Amino acid sequence: MALELFYWPGVQGRGEFVRLALEEAGVEYIEMGAGNETQGRGVPSITHWLDGAEVERPPFAPPFLRVGDRVIGQSALILMWIGEHYGLAPKDEPSRLWTHQVQLTIADAVVEAHESHHPVSAGLYSEDQRAEAQRRAIDFREARIPKFLRWFETLMARNPAGPQFLIGDALTYADLSLFQLVEGLSFAYPKATARALAECPKVVALHAAVAARPRIKAYLESGRRIAFSEGGIFRHYPELDA
């Protein structure tokens, strides 16, 4: 049975973190936001779960994953479930919890990336808060991007199993998410991210290793990989990357 992934059509967003894990695991899944209503898909399939009066436990927002009669929301929780069911998480509980903690920190970085161009309100157009964004972006590119990336570098350096991965001696969903975070930051803040990555060779090596994994490589080169855009979480405004 194919899993059903619900996310807004045509947008990478937080859904991309889930897609990468599903692709690496080789799991069959359906993009429910794509397609049309006659197929039971499209935006109405998303709003049904968000707004339907008959839905007892509606998710707050996409992405969410439907597994049989269960609906799992929140990217980090979805990834925890995928990791434990498809071999992308450690087997011992302390390491599983540590992987989840790392993932939550990645989620924090994603929020800060979004708020660097929407510091006042997500409900306003970026043009309506550009002055505030320019102030916020200074701290994000000069302090926060380096701090996050240095922390991941430290985790890899201190990994008892060696610096190949963030946790243990095998790829986890956190490694895939760090790959996507680096991708997003490199798109939105190419200059600032390049400066920070110059001091994080282990993160650079992990990013390259993930991109070269057969299933991930095939996905990145396929037409199914949605491109970054100015409608997503990671947005490139040259003036913010001054």
First to last CA, the chain: 48
Does the reported pTM lie above 0.85?
Answer: yes
Tokens of 143: 């302090």
Q: Indicate the CATH number for domain 3-85.
A: 3.40.30.10
Tell me how crowded residue 43 is: count the other CB atoms within 10 A of its CB: 15
- What is the tens place of the pLDDT at every residue in 149-199? 999 999 999 999 999 999 999 999 999 999 999 999 999 999 999 999 999
Residue 38 has pLDDT above 80, yes or no: no
Q: What is the arrangement of strands in the sheet containing 70-73, beginning at the earlier edge strand?
A: 29-31, 3-6, 64-67, 70-73
User: Domain ranges in the chain?
Assistant: 3-85, 93-213
**How is domain 93-213 classified at the CATH fold level?**
Glutathione S-transferase Yfyf (Class Pi); Chain A, domain 2 (1.20.1050)
